Amino acid sequence: MEKELLVYIDGEYYPKSKAKVSVYDHGLLYGDGVFEGIRAYSGIVFKLKEHVDRLYRSAHTIMLQIPVTKEEMTKIVLDTLRKNNLKDAYIRLVVTRGIGDLGLNPKKCPKATIIVIADTISLHKSEAKEKGVTAMLSWVKRDPVDATTHEIKSLNYLNSILAKIEANISNVDEAICLDKNGFICEGVAENMFIVKNRRIFTPPSYTGALPGITAEAVTKLARKLGYEVIEKNITPYELFNAEEVFFTGTAAEVVPVREINKRQIGSGSPGPITKRLMEEFPKLVRDPSEGTPIYQ
């Protein structure tokens, strides 16, 4: 019988089947908390420092006091991987407001809850990177920067879930969210890039999109490979008429898009720049200088 994975919760490790939080936890009751999705490749946790830093920025924004230091949090993540004897994994790092009462007042939650899950994840079918995925523009607008902005990686993903439901109903792989002005913002859990005239464009962060760590890494990689990467507002017209479109994300990595709202993108197959980035990205994530080793 295969040994169960262990989940870290507030200083203890529990078998996956017995890992639980209180029904009075405000993360469950109100989506009050923050999280990070992190990947480990061949014993290297890719961009762990950057993920932990972003977690603390999100927590600071919602005035959530994390009860451990960044260094202690890093050790918790690495120890969870070691406990599970993992070299390749998807890590979900979660901090909730903690246990309170049935009112929403955060003052009623004396201490935050920390959870670390180390497991695997699969967002798309295996042929997605070979053929590209289909997508659609959703009616669900991204929350603006003066509301529950997606610059905060919070536990409230209802905005994304509604868009994903629409994609499921429409039988496409992914949904694309617009900002309140109608410009392209991001996918439900991925950043977006388009290619036109061998230049790469991506929406600016002030649209309310999450400043993606994988997106930043891919941007630097593209520039290193000699491509110009420009942040600008992108219209649906520009999206439909792009030569290439691709998503990036920790779970998704780099995924080409072949069709949006029944419009073929470029040749209908992954384009040369997207393919080049997909070839180089696996080398990047396994570079020890780009992450933190699990076993030393």
The tens digit of pLDDT for each residue in 220-279 reads 999 999 999 999 999 999 999 999 999 999 999 999 999 999 999 999 999 999 999 999
Residue 108 has which token pair? 């009623």
- Which amino acid, residue 129? K
The pLDDT tens digits for 41-71 are 999 999 999 999 999 999 999 999 999 999 9
Q: Each residue of 85-105: pLDDT tens digit? A: 999 999 999 999 999 999 999
Q: What pLDDT is attached to residue 123?
A: 66
Length of the chain in terms of residues written: 296
Report the percentage of the chain scoring pLDDT > 90. 91
Spell out the domain ranges in the chain.
6-121, 128-285
Q: Which CATH class is domain 128-285?
A: alpha beta
**Helix crossing, 48-61 with 213-224: angle to 10°?**
140
Does position 1 have pLDDT exceeding 70, yes or no?
no
pLDDT band at 124 (very low <50, low <70, confident <90, very high): low
DSSP annotation string for 120-157? ----S-TTHHHH-EEEEE-S-PPPPTTSS-TTS-BS--
Mean pLDDT of the chain: 96
Rounded to two decimals, the pTM is: 0.95
pLDDT for position 78:
98
Q: Is 18 a catalytic residue?
A: no
What CA–CA distance (Å, rounded) separates 77 from 266? 41
- Could you tell me which CATH class the domain 6-121 is placed in? alpha beta
Q: Which residues of 224-263 are buried (b: 16+ CB within 10 A; e: fewer)?
A: eeebebeeebbebeebbebbbbbbbbbbbbbbbbbbbeee
Please report the pLDDT score of residue 42 as a whole number. Answer: 96
Tell me, yes or no, if the two domains 6-121 and 128-285 fold the same way: no
The active-site residue, picked from 153, 164, 220, 275, is: 153
